[in-house]
Amino acid sequence: MDEAGDAATLKAPRYKPHGAGSAAPFINQIGVLGIRRPLDQMRSRLLDRQYDFLLHPGEWEPDLSGKAAKDLPELLQAWLGHDKLITILDLSGIPSTVVARLIGAILKIIYEGLFWGRDKSEGGIARPLLVVMEEAHRYLSKDADGPARVMVQRIVKEGRKFGIGAMVVSQRPSEVDETILSQCGTFITLRLSNSSDRAKVQASLPDNLAGVIDSLPVLRVGEVIITDEAARLPIRCRITLPDEKHRPNSEDPDVAKRWQGARLPESYERVAASWRAQNPTWTTLRVLRTPVAQEEIESMEREMVDSSTVLSIGYEPTSSTLEVEFKNSGLYQYYNVPEPIYQQLMASDSKGKFMHAYIKPAYPCSRV
């Protein structure tokens, strides 16, 4: 060996090259395993920063001796052992090239944990689990050949008897693997206009009920048709919307109203900062509270607004202070809020929803 390698920096060792004649060292020509390419691929993955979240998982990453600060019990406890009813794993910012591998790894951990613990109080028999997979066509397509598709096929085929169910959510059911769709017991279908997508739903119905599919293109927002095991006959109903403050920030904008309204002040530095941070509420400068004099607090004028949660709103441009009076929780001041954000708040249809999505998580505040 000419130079030893370094496992910490993934530096490979260097050996004396083999001789061309009868002199040592010799090259092995018998039983060569050909592992250099897999090793090079593994090294490239370990050095690729896109895989850091998967291959370097913080306290769960073992050191060179094979020991980790946290192990599998702590991971299962964080995902399944808490007292909340729902666990949300947000993978929206994960690169598409690795999302299938990551989802496959997550599902394998969950499935194996509940499978081998099925006779215990923590297992799936005592505590059944429903795994909801959004945007399933991204990683469960019929052309995909990754670990996510394999694990979901295993869950939908075998998971029921071990207390593990699956809900597959997709806007394009025609792109989801047919084996997975065939194991779905209930279809909850919203508006579908594509004929190939409707055909997937129609295939799950008896021939004498296939006419129900003709109404799919004309369903209203929030209206669904429920078929198969959950209903003896197909049911057309409308889902009750949650309270406004509990709705996700995913409603369609009122395009005609936005185009007709005046254009608000814009700063594309904030757009670039959110893009780089992979966070839509990120601001260009994450600053701490700017002290506000007492006379400014007393002299700030607030405007009454029409909202179910907000009573009045005021803004002081010199200190970039936003003052909001809530109907139930009192008066709060938010610091270093840009004026375009204040103007967008005043122009929004839902003041409470705008506060919850764009101001509360982004700016420091204090109660007045």
CATH number of domain containing 212: 3.40.50.300
| pLDDT above 90 as % of the chain | 18
User: 92 in a domain, yes or no?
Assistant: yes
Q: Which pLDDT band, with edges at 50, 70 and 90, does 293 fall under?
A: low
pLDDT at 109: 93
Coil, strand or helix at 47: helix
Over residues 25-53, the mean pLDDT reads 72
Q: Which pLDDT band, with edges at 50, 70 and 90, does 131 fall under?
A: very high
User: 4 in a domain, yes or no?
Assistant: no
Q: Is 322 exposed, middle or buried (0-12, 13-18, 19+ CB in 10 A)?
A: buried
Question: The tokens of 35 are what?
Answer: 């592992």
User: 112 in a domain, yes or no?
Assistant: yes
User: 259 in a domain, yes or no?
Assistant: no
106/120 Cα distance (integer angstroms): 21
Over residues 48-54, the mean pLDDT reads 76
- How many of the other CB atoms lie within 10 Å of CB of 191? 15
Cis before 248? omega within 30: no
Count the domains in the chain: 2
224/237 Cα distance (integer angstroms): 6
**How far are the Cα atoms of 1, 24, 80, 160, 228 from residue 16, in angstroms, in the given order?**
6, 10, 52, 57, 68
Coil, strand or helix at 201: helix
Rounded to two decimals, the pTM is 0.66
Q: Is the pLDDT of residue 290 over 60?
A: no
Q: In which residue are the tokens 């309270």 written?
A: 243
Whether residues 169 and 75 fall in one domain:
yes
Whether residues 186 and 284 fall in one domain:
no
Question: The tokens of 20 are what?
Answer: 């061309």
User: 216 in a domain, yes or no?
Assistant: yes
Q: Which residue has the higher pLDDT, 41 or 296?
A: 41
R_g over Cα of the chain: 28
Whether residues 125 and 186 fall in one domain:
yes
Whether residues 82 and 229 fall in one domain:
yes
Coil, strand or helix at 327: coil
Whether residues 311 and 362 fall in one domain:
yes
Q: Which of 36-40, 238-242, 312-316, 350-354 has the lowest mean pLDDT?
A: 36-40
Q: Is the pLDDT of residue 287 over 50?
A: no
pLDDT at 228: 82
Residue 166 pairs in a beta bridge with 131
Q: Is the pLDDT of residue 143 over 50?
A: yes
Whether residues 335 and 205 fall in one domain:
no
Amino acid found at 329: S
Last residue of a domain, one of 238, 256, 288: 238
Full domain range(s) for residue 289: 266-367
Residue 6 pairs in a beta bridge with 11
Whether residues 119 and 187 fall in one domain:
yes
User: 100 in a domain, yes or no?
Assistant: yes
Last residue of a domain, one of 192, 223, 238: 238
DSSP 229-287: TT-SS-EEEEPPPPPGGGS-S-PPP-HHHHHHSPPPP--HHHHHHHHHHT-TT--S---
Q: Which pLDDT band, with edges at 50, 70 and 90, does 167 fall under?
A: very high
277/275 Cα distance (integer angstroms): 5
Q: Which residue has the higher pLDDT, 174 or 278?
A: 174
100/106 Cα distance (integer angstroms): 10
Coil, strand or helix at 202: helix
pLDDT at 292: 52
Coil, strand or helix at 363: coil
Whether residues 81 and 180 fall in one domain:
yes
Q: Which pLDDT band, with edges at 50, 70 and 90, does 288 fall under?
A: very low
Are the CB atoms for 287 and 321 separated by under 8 Å?
no
Last residue of a domain, one of 195, 218, 238: 238
pLDDT by residue (tens digit) across 321-343? Answer: 899 999 888 889 998 888 888 98
Whether residues 152 and 291 fall in one domain:
no
User: 86 in a domain, yes or no?
Assistant: yes
Query: What's the half-sphere exposure (Cβ side, CA atoms, 13 Å) at 72?
Result: 8
pLDDT at 152: 93
User: 313 in a domain, yes or no?
Assistant: yes
Q: Is the pLDDT of residue 245 over 60?
A: yes
pLDDT at 21: 66
Are the CB atoms for 172 and 125 separated by under 8 Å?
no
Q: Is the pLDDT of residue 350 over 80?
A: yes
110/22 Cα distance (integer angstroms): 56
Q: Which residue has the higher pLDDT, 12 or 134?
A: 134
DSSP 64-118: TTS--SS-HHHHHHHHHSSS-S------TTS-HHHHHHHHHHHHHHHHHHHHHTT
- How many of the other CB atoms lie within 10 Å of CB of 33? 7
Q: Which of 18-32, 123-137, 182-196 has the lowest mean pLDDT?
A: 18-32
pLDDT at 156: 93
- Mean predicted lDDT score pLDDT of the chain: 82
Whether residues 212 and 97 fall in one domain:
yes
Whether residues 281 and 221 fall in one domain:
no
Q: In which residue are the tokens 């690729």 written?
A: 48
Q: Which pLDDT band, with edges at 50, 70 and 90, does 5 fall under?
A: confident
319/312 Cα distance (integer angstroms): 19
pLDDT by residue (tens digit) across 69-95? Answer: 898 899 899 888 888 889 998 887 777
Whether residues 74 and 110 fall in one domain:
yes
